[in-house]
């Protein structure tokens, strides 16, 4: 029997830029994109089937961010609402790479990527992704 590949899933959420996130030029301060991406990540994790405490309060492993980057294509304005599409660029043995696309009316304003490494909570040594994590992240992998 042939293995049928399904189109990857994308998690979508929205955020509205608050006044306090903006700088003197009246646009969002560039560093705030990482907080907004992580807020979307928290929602994404729950959409994969985890309870918040199950992921962020796990006792046996942690998944800290090892790398983050952002490409800015258009300014973010206070009071505007942006859609955030969350998918995975890669799932490795000990890490995974999450991609966030921020858009308004179909125009991409920023693309953020964050690499999480999975580590043993007791000693911070890299470890293999738990099987359940791999299973829950896999549908969002774009190949």
pLDDT digits (tens, 9 = 90+) for 52-80: 999 999 999 999 999 999 999 999 999 99
What pLDDT sits at residue 143?
Answer: 77
* Strands in the chain per DSSP E: 11-16, 61-62, 65-72, 81-91, 95-104, 107-117, 119-120
- The whole-chain average pLDDT of the chain stands at 95
- Mean pLDDT over 73-98 rounds to 98
Q: Is residue 100 over pLDDT 50?
A: yes
pLDDT digits (tens, 9 = 90+) for 39-59: 999 999 999 999 999 999 999
Q: Is residue 97 over pLDDT 60?
A: yes
3-state secondary structure of 78: coil
Distance CA(21)–CA(23), nearest Å, equals: 7
In the chain, where does DSSP find H-type helix?
32-47, 52-56, 131-137
Q: Which domains, ranges and CATH numbers included, belong to the chain?
A: 11-140 (3.10.129.10)
């Amino acid at each position: 029997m042939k293995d049928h590949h399904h189109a990857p899933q994308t998690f979508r959420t929205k955020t509205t830029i608050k006044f306090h996130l903006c700088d003197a030029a009246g646009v969002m301060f560039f560093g705030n994109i990482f907080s907004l991406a992580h807020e979307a990540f928290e929602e994404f994790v729950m959409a994969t089937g985890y309870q918040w405490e199950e992921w962020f309060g796990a006792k046996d492993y942690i998944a800290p961010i090892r790398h983050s980057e952002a490409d800015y294509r258009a300014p973010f304005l206070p009071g505007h609402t942006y859609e955030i599409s969350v998918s995975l660029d890669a799932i490795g043995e000990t890490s995974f790479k999450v991609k966030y696309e921020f858009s308004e009316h179909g125009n991409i304003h920023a693309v953020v990527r964050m690499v999480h490494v999975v580590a043993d909570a007791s000693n911070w040594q890299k470890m293999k992704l738990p099987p359940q994590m791999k299973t829950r992240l896999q549908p969002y992998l774009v190949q």
